[in-house]
Amino acid sequence: MTRTERLLQLMQILRRHRYPVSGATLAAELGISLRSLYRDIATLQGQGARIEGEAGVGYLLLPGYLLPPLMFSDEEIDALVLGSRWVAQHGDPALAAASRSALSRILSVLPEERRQDPDSAALLVGPTGGDHADDSRLTLLRQALRSERKLAFGYRDARGEVTQRTVWPVALGYFEQVRMLAGWCEQRQAFRHFRVDRMHDVRILDDRYPRHRRQLLHEWRRQEQLRPQ
């Protein structure tokens, strides 16, 4: 195990503990000496990790600290790069631009030996069956999800019938062929799924939904688990 991998593992161990954990316990789990552990703690603190405690007392990682890209494993870097490229290629303009910006930041701060050349990447994103890159409706849907506001839109179902809906958006699914919105439909008084390409005249209303989106998301997931496969 390299020292970088060990520092990453130490951070993950600290994340699991809600109360101070002794240096001896940490050193035993990592298979290193106490002296090495103290050096690792000091290194992480120097990089900005909010680790409280001292030798003989115990250590606690305060919430809110994010691992710098230097601490990402090779597999995690691959996942971030591949995911960012997928969004950049298949997201709407606002999301694609944000993804390209985030990927640029990640690559710029990686160590030189681990930095990937975007033009020589081994992990590539292939085309999908639909064209969603210019769908401005997706930007509105994400805004409604973040602000927990109701959506109003016209919806054309598979039979071509058009209805007016008021929906409390819960989640937005990016599938290979289509984009799907899950939400509580006031007209049907139940959770429903809507294909984004069948929605028109989408408007974000001033009204917030009466319950938090997180609670609705939990209820929707429970319903989906009970639905016959």
Tokens representing 195 are 């294909």
Instruction: Among 36-45, 65-74, 198-207, name the one with the lowest average pLDDT.
Output: 65-74
**Residue, of 88 and 140, whose pLDDT is higher:** 140
- pLDDT tens by residue, 88-107: 877 778 888 888 888 777 77
Task: Indicate whether 116 pLDDT > 70.
Answer: no
198 neighbors 150 (Cβ within 8 angstroms): no
Mean pLDDT on 72-92: 78
Q: Please provide the CATH number assigned to the domain covering 3-65.
A: 1.10.10.10
What's the confidence (pLDDT) of residue 115?
60
Same topology, domains 3-65 and 137-226? Answer is: no
Pick the CATH number of 137-226 from 3.30.1340, 1.10.287, 2.40.128, 2.30.30: 2.30.30
Task: Indicate whether 69 pLDDT > 50.
Answer: no
Query: With a threshold of 0.75, does the pTM exceed it?
Result: no
Q: For residue 123, name the pLDDT band (cuts at 50, 70, 90).
A: low
**Residue, of 193 and 44, whose pLDDT is higher:** 193
70 neighbors 113 (Cβ within 8 angstroms): no
Domain spans of the chain, in order of start: 3-65, 72-120, 137-226
Mean pLDDT on 55-76: 70
- pLDDT tens by residue, 183-199: 999 999 999 999 999 99
DSSP of the chain: --HHHHHHHHHHHHHH-SS-B-HHHHHHHHT--HHHHHHHHHHHHHTT--EEEETTTEEEEPTT----GGG--HHHHHHHHHHHHHHHHHS-HHHHHHHHHHHHHHHHHS-GGGPPPGGG-S------SS--TT-THHHHHHHHHHHTEEEEEEEE-TTS-EEEEEEEEEEEEE-SS-EEEEEEETTTTEEEEEEGGGEEEEEEEEEEPSS-HHHHHHHHHHHHHHS--
